[in-house]
Amino acid sequence: MSDDTKTPDLVQEALDRFQICVQAEAQQRTREIDDLKFQVPELQWPAEVRDQRTAQTVNGIALAARPMLAIPKLDQPIQLVLNQEKAAHLGVQVHPLTEEADDDTAEVLQGLYRAIEVDSRANLARSWAFERAVKAGRGAYRILKEYDDDSDHPSDQKIVIKRIYEQGAVYFDPAANEPDASDAEYAFVVTDVPIARYRRQYQDSALAAYSDEAFVALGNEHEGWITGDGDARAIRVAEYFTVETQTEDATWDGGTRPKATRVVHWCTLNAIEQLDAQVWDGRYIPLVRTVGRELIPFDGEKRCVGLISQNKDAQRLFNYAASASVEMAALETKASATSRICRIAGS
């Protein structure tokens, strides 16, 4: 862990940067959640419309619920795109790029990478992120190091590619311009940990010894970092990635120019303290963002959309039309029955 005198500054920097991410992405995330609700057919009806069409009593007269059909017309085109991704067997191809590199070395590296893909079931992580991008515009997966239980040495580690179940928990530097956010200078993955689990996992942290009153005060000070009450309380723990650029003079064929080297730092923290820290073995933040369709900016806001976003009105129109058709058919049947009864009574 880093020097304790630096920890408060690092935590405050992380809190400030996280707030920047939240504010910059607020509208995008609202749109994504609204798009993802369309996965559940009954949620395709706006809440106010559902309320109007439920069973009601008006002036003492009971009115039956009106039809609210939800026919998932978007499922087929979405599944077609998802199946194309699965059939493509996406992955990395290793090729020699310099005179010193050769095909044999590239083949060995390709084999090592293929083993990483197979052992960690990378296709599941990539497809999960791809599906969210197709539906809502953005997704993400990650690269990790884990201890290798199959190794004879207890300190041996292996590279794994993992899915992020709650992909909305990933926040990238809003200033990143590359589609995959490879130029991001910082990023977060946040998890709301139940208090009992938090105290088991981080029993030596200062936050683990907080009283109820202290938790309430901290939650008021840092909104979202402490949620719930009593045994249902959750503590937000954030993985915080930062990129430090180190510059040194490099010489080629007698010439010298500055060369920048990226160093990635990783730590976990809560709202008041750093919990763990290390330097990542790579020059990029090990989070990969997937993008469905990125719109050309026109008002300073970055917008990403999927297949659902621009087809919601058409889906709602189809639901309304189908429901109205059923409703009219039901009314016509009742009118015909009443007419026949009147004719019988008059005959």
Render pLDDT for 246-258 as a digit per residue (tens, 0 to 9). 888 777 777 788 8
In a domain, 228, yes or no: yes
Q: Which one has a higher pLDDT value, 345 or 227? A: 227
Q: What is the rounded CA–CA span in Å between residue 171 and residue 168?
A: 8
* pLDDT higher than 50, residue 192: yes
In a domain, 259, yes or no: yes
In a domain, 175, yes or no: no
CA 168, 172, 173, 177 torsion: positive or negative? Answer: negative
3-state secondary structure of 159: strand
Residue 132 and residue 164 in contact, taking contact as beta carbons nearer than 8 Å: no
Give the strand pairing for 255-269 and 56-58: unpaired
Overall size of the chain counted in residues: 347
* pLDDT higher than 90, residue 101: no
- Region class of 228: left (phi > 0), else alpha (psi between -120 and 50), else beta: left
* pLDDT higher than 80, residue 99: no
Cβ density class 52-69: b for 16+ within 10 Å, e for less: ebeeeeeeeeeeeebbbb
- The C-alpha angle 90, 191, 78, rounded to 5 degrees, equals 35
pLDDT at 98: 79
Q: What is the rounded CA–CA span in Å between residue 312 and residue 324?
A: 18
Residue 238 and residue 190 in contact, taking contact as beta carbons nearer than 8 Å: yes
In a domain, 273, yes or no: yes
Task: Render pLDDT for 277-330 as a digit per residue (tens, 0 to 9).
Answer: 999 998 999 999 999 999 999 998 999 999 999 999 999 999 999 998 888 887
In a domain, 216, yes or no: yes
| Residue 120 DSSP symbol | T
In a domain, 37, yes or no: no
With tokens 């199946």, the residue in question is 83
Alpha helices in the chain (DSSP H): 7-37, 47-53, 75-88, 103-119, 122-136, 195-201, 212-221, 312-346
* pLDDT higher than 80, residue 337: no
Q: What is the pTM of this model?
A: 0.85
Task: Render pLDDT for 131-171 as a digit per residue (tens, 0 to 9).
Answer: 999 999 999 999 999 888 888 888 888 899 999 999 999 99
Torsion of CA 21, 308, 286, 169, to 10 degrees: 50
pLDDT at 24: 95
Residue 240 and residue 247 in contact, taking contact as beta carbons nearer than 8 Å: no
Q: What is the rounded CA–CA span in Å between residue 185 and residue 309?
A: 29
In this prediction, residue 1 has a pLDDT band, given cuts at 50, 70 and 90, of very low
Host domain of residue 247? 185-284
* pLDDT higher than 80, residue 331: no
In a domain, 256, yes or no: yes
What is the number of domains present in the chain? 1
Task: Render pLDDT for 217-250 as a digit per residue (tens, 0 to 9).
Answer: 999 999 999 999 988 999 999 999 999 988 887 7
* pLDDT higher than 70, residue 65: yes
Q: Mean of the per-residue pLDDT values for the chain?
A: 88
3-state secondary structure of 279: strand
In a domain, 250, yes or no: yes
